[in-house]
Structures are given as C-alpha cells and as structure tokens.
A and B are shown apart, each in its own frame.
Chain A
Amino acid sequence: MKEDIKNKENAATNEFDQVVVGNSLTKDAWKRLRKNKMAVVGMVIVILYALISAFAPLLPLHDYDEIILDHQNLGPSFNKTAGELMMENKKKELYFKAWKDGSLVLTEEQSALIVSWIDESKTNSVWNLCLEEGEKQLAAGTFTWSSSDQKTLDKLQKKIDEDIFVDITKIYQGDTNLKKLDSDSLAKVYATMIGLDDTTLILEQTYKEMDAFVFNTIEMDADVKKNLSDEEKATIIDKEIEKLGDAYFEEKLAENLYGKINAQVLRDVTKILENESEEGTISFPYKDTIEVDGLTITVSSSLVNQRHYLLGTDYSGRDLLSRIIYGGQISIMIGIIGTLFSVFIGIVLGALAGYLGGKVDYIIMRIVDVMYGLPYMLIVIICMAIFGRSILNLFIALGIVSWLTIARMVRGQIMSLKNSEYVEAARSMGAKTWRIIFKHMIPNSLSIIIVYSTLRIPSFIMQESFLSFLGLGVQAPMASWGSLISNGVASMTIYPWRLIFPSIAMTLFLFAMNFFGDGLRDAFDPQSKNQL
C-alpha cells in the first residue's frame, strides 16, 4: 500500500515521460544563497568553526585547563619548543640584569635608547635589544656570564631536558581495573603497596578523612560548627552519613582510596621513568605499561618542555590554542542556546499576541514596549548579580531580555497572515485553528525567523563577551572568547598574542555569521534582485 502511494507520488510525469519535480521556495532560496559568494564563504567558515568546536576532544590538543607554571606567558611560535622559549625568556632577563650591573656594555646610543624605552614601558623592545646584543657579544667573546648566572642557566637547561610529564590512564590488578574494585579490596591493595600487613590502620585513617569530608559538607552556622564538642560532632556526622546512604558513602570511600593509590603509583612511576631517562634507556614521548608492586599501569609520558604552543600560552601556562577552541565551544553554545531560548519565547508570545489580538495583544505589546525602554545590559547585570554567575544563569538572563524583537516580528507576521486569502480559504474549508497555525502560518513565517536567528547569534556572542569582559560571564578555568580577550587586555603591551588571537578568532566568526545571515535574508526574499 505504502509503495503504491510512493509510486503515485512519483508518477508525476509529463507527456515526454519526464518526472516533474516541484521547486519549493526553500530550494529556490538555497539556489540563490549559493550564488552569493560572501554568504557561501561565511557559511563554510561557520561550519568549520562548528565542526572544530564539536570535535575538539578528538583533536591533538593540550588540555585547556592544564596549568604548567613553568610555561607562563610563552610567545607563539611554529618551530621553537616550550623549553627553548623558556630559555630565551630567562636569557632576556639575565642580559638585562647584566646591562644594569654594567657587565654587558652597550654603546651610548643603545643605552640611551633603552632608558627612553623604559620610560615608555616598551618592555619587549628592551628585552629584544638586550638579547640580540648579548648573544652577539657572547659569540664574539666580549661578554661572559657571571658564575651565578651561568649556574642558573645550566640548572634551567637541565630542568628543560629532564622534566617529564607523567599521566596515568589506567591501573590494573591482574585483569581487573582498580576503579571497579570496592573499598575493602582497594584498602588491601594499598596496604601491600606501602608494606602493611592488614588494612585496619588504613581504613581508620580513611574513615577519619571521610568524617572530615562529610562534616565540611554539612551546612551550618560557622560559629556553631566551631564550638561543637567531639560527641556532638560524631552524632551529627553519623546522622549525615545515614542520610547520604551506604552506596554513596562506599563510592566516596573507594574514590578516596583510589586517589591514594594513584598518588603513590604516580610517585613510583615518575621515579622509574626519571631513572631510565637519566640512563638514556627510554625515548619520549613514551607510552607503555609498567609493573609496580604487582599492579599493571598504563602510562603515557612526555618531556613537558618539548611541547609546541602554536599560539603561545596564558598567564597560568595554559595552551592558548586549545583555550580558544574550547572557549569558542562555549561562546557558540551561548549564541545558539540563547537564540533558541529567545526565539522560543518570542514565537510563543508573538503568535499569541498576533493571533488572539485585542486585550492580550495590547498587554503583551505594552510589556514589550516597557522592556524596550529599559537598558537591557543593566537588567542582565542585575540578574547575574542576584542569581549568581553560572552559564545557565547567563543563558536565562540573556534570554529574558532578548525575545522582544522577535516577538514583535512574529506578531506582525501572524497578523498579516491571519487576513491573507489562503488562511481564509483554509477557514472556509473548515480547518481547525491549530491546523491553520501549524500548516499555514508557521511555515510561512519560518524564513524570517531563521534569518533573524542567524543574525541574532553573533549579537549573543558579543553580549556574552561583554559580560565576560566585565567579569560577570564565564569563570576560569572555563574560557569563552570574551573572557580570553578580557584576560588578554590586561597585559596587552607585553604579551600581545594573548589579546590578538582570541580577538581574531571571534571577529572572523562574527563576520562569517553576519555574512551568512545577510545571505540568508537575501535568499529568502523573493523580491531580491538575484532571482533565478
């Protein structure tokens, strides 16, 4: 039966046996969009951004929240490793010190230049000049490091060469993953590791830690908490543990023990790897399993200072490239979810106002007018201050102030469609209201809603960036383009890359989105000039 219908539908052939396929408005719009080169470029860039954000976890990036304090504020570089950059930075500092001590002798002109640069706080220029001249003189033999400086440099070089980064992915005992064991077995494993015969001592210690942990989580007045006697404490804790349930307690206990084992294993493995690297028996990056105390451990390890940071690092030594990508993830998400939120509210209220008309329309539209009159950023800032700073609150705060325009638009559209002849035709054939709304009105207003939404996304990203810039948006260690830019601005003169790269990433996306939105608007407008 179904196939019969399909055949019937496809049987729309003309006298030459050619299948006649309709050309819907959407198809037509797509054709027109493809003709608009800027819009297509914009669309490709937007899709690229979306793909990169969506598949960020699969990309070979450093963790966006991994803090390596040795790598603070390293510049962007294609070929130099983090170690080389660290060395360079150290040398800049030491050469400058040497110039100040008088051991590095520069010409009068150069010295005068440096003094003037210091007055203008052009730190980078000073450092670069010192480095350049120092290296030149060092090579010519007219300058030698003082013994203490030489020692500092040697120590740094050794650190750069030897520091390894160890990551333990899995710990197995025989064939079982340690994460799946219960607390008793974990305690036994830990006991054998640190050379104890039975587990009582370990469990005692762990229970104490758990009590402290539970006690900390209890919400209570701080003064009262401090003045409790030991017995009172014990009863409160017991009650709380009972409330939390055995399963939860067991889970936390196992987690605690696993953490202890992990720390111990990390120490052991690092020692082994360091020894082996000193003997030169392994090469990095290293990825293998190691046997320690009867446990099989999957380890990946690398020389931390051999890393490359294409776009440099930030003030905590986090990779800027991965922060921009993960920040983009959050910014784009805020753009999309905020838009969906505001479009949803806008469509519902706008359609109600437009379709029902009368008093409902009047009241909704006056609310919209009043809200238009208020400075919306102020409302968002007040919301964020009252409800706390979290991403969810950010969505809600932006959503409640941004549905106004779409509500007005949808209302106008519905009002004009309500009196159109094809809606009258549908009514005269006895169609129900919901059928008219869903089959006629919404499909016919969808194009402007789509266009508006695509143009709305960049403005949401801008608003979020603005809030992050003010310190009300996304909080570290999470990142968004706005917060990255805000961090970058603080040290714009010394570390310009921290401002430039996030700004480029954001600007490019906003441009692309705007061109794409404009293209969509032209494509959906049947009166536009580039008609087929």
Chain B
Amino acid sequence: MYAQMVKSTGKGIKSREEMTDEERQFQDRVDADEKIEPKDWMPEGYRKTLIRQIGQHAHSEIVGQLPEGNWITRAPTLERKAILLAKVQDEAGHGLYLYCAAETLGVSRDELMEKLHSGDMKYSSIFNYPTLNWADIGAVGWLVDGAAIMNQVPLQRTSYGPYSRAMIRICKEESFHQRQGYDIMMKMAFGTEDQKKMAQDALNRFWYPSLMMFGPSDKDSVHSAQSMAWKIKINTNDELRQKFVDQTVPQAEYLGLTVPDENLKWNEETGHYEFTEPDWSEFFEVIKGNGPCNKERLGARVKAWEDGAWVRDGLMAHAEKKAAKVAAE
C-alpha cells in the first residue's frame, strides 16, 4: 500500500495484564471507536508507528506526482492535460494534508522531508516503476489509485483523529482519479490497434507492481497485529489484495485486455479469483533501492528541495522584515 511494511515499535501486543493503567484506558478508547486526538495521552509506540505510517503515506503522494507528472507536457489533448494536471495537483494536496496530520504528532514537515531525502523513510514501491506510454496514465489511475483506494477507504475509520480526517478529505477528492484512469483505458482499449497495444502493454507492466502495493502477506506479522489492535491498520494485506483482484479482473475483461497471469481463475467455491503472487524478491529489491526509477524519483525530490531553498528562505526573510517593521511602528 502507500504505507508498506510499516514496523510498529513494540515486540508484540501486550495482554491487558501487562498494560499500564494509561495503556489500558487508551486501548479501551480505541476499542470503543473513540478518536484519539493530538493532545491525548498515547503510547509512544503508537505515536512513532503513526509518524512512520503517515509520513510514508505523505511521501508516496509527492513522489507519486512524478511518474504521472512525466506526461503532463505530453498529454494528447487540452482536456486530458487539464485533467491530468488537476489530478497530479490533488496528489500534492494529499501529501500536504498528510504531512500536516503527521505534524500533530510532534514531527515537522522539514524533518520528514529530510528523512525521505536521506533514505531513512520510504515511499510506496509502485512509484519506482516508469510510465512509458500514454496508457500508463490510464493504468496508474485504474490500478494504482484503485489499489490505494482499497486501503484508504477503511482508513477513514482509523483511530487517530487527524489521520482519519485527512483520509476522509483524500477519499472525497480521490474518487475521480480512478474513474479518469479507467476512462483513458476505455479510450485506448477500444481505440486503434496501436492504442490497444499501449493499453495491454500498460496492464502487463503494472499488474504485478500493483499487487505488490499491498505488501507481502502479513498474516503472521506481530507489527500488523499491533497496528490492527490500534486501528491504524484495518485489513490484512492479503484481504485487500484479494479484494483488489476480485474487483479488477472483470474490469480488465470489459476492456478486452488480458491480465498477465496464466494461473488466474475464478474459484466458484470460495467466490474469489485464484491468482499468482507477485515476485516478492523483486519487491524487496525495489524497496532496497534497485527499482527501475528509484534514483530518478528520489533525485527529483532532492533537487526540487535544494533548488527551492533560496525561495523558502527569501519568503521567510521578507515576512520577518515586514513583521519587524510593523513592530517598530
């Protein structure tokens, strides 16, 4: 997902007997679906895990601007250009909302940026894949945003108030993203032979990386169990992946495209599709920095930040001068 493999800090879930009074009260509030707010008492592990998760989510939004932003200047019509620009702009907005949510936990946006730039914090593996043809813009909206929505919709109910509110706003804005992606896919899949080829090529390349977005199976992970107890993770990775496949396969069929999985088949008994797991060794390589675009993506972020330093400083200096002038009057 946008926040993959976030490790909680504890070694496992404490039993009620092991918890302190504060921890027990906290867990009771979470269990009762009460929202935790910034000034409320919270376990240190909860705070740290949330900073990692929200931070990683925010980083994914702004790094996620890059593969799509790639195509803004090449969009084939004025309307497509406007739609794509509006969409990539939304992602900047989503990054902004999430950074602000993280800041309520006592970390600054600049600190988070530095951690992204130094590689201490990660972003979703999916954005290290290239967008090579125009149908990729369709595929990103359809598959990548589709996968993201699977995770974000339940996160609207997450226990941390500012995170929950950011997700509500994001989901509201995000609803057009997947549709515009599918709309591009329809134009391509029902278009000329060349366009069909682009559409199939895009699906071939984005299918497995999209499945990887949910992260490796976490049914035995103590970190995930803790995060689920804290309600900062709502479903297991496998649940969401299955839901995504079940939803997406018929959509691919409607387009007349072939999902690149020979073992894909409907299982009447379970009511779900059977599918091939993505190559997890590839996933771990991408996370380590060996994806096709890791260097470009991070490089672009670092460059934007460094090149922009004089602007941020200049604007701050002017504001301080003005404030000093007002104070002197």
A binds B: no
Residues of chain B at the chain A interface (Cβ within 8 Å) = none
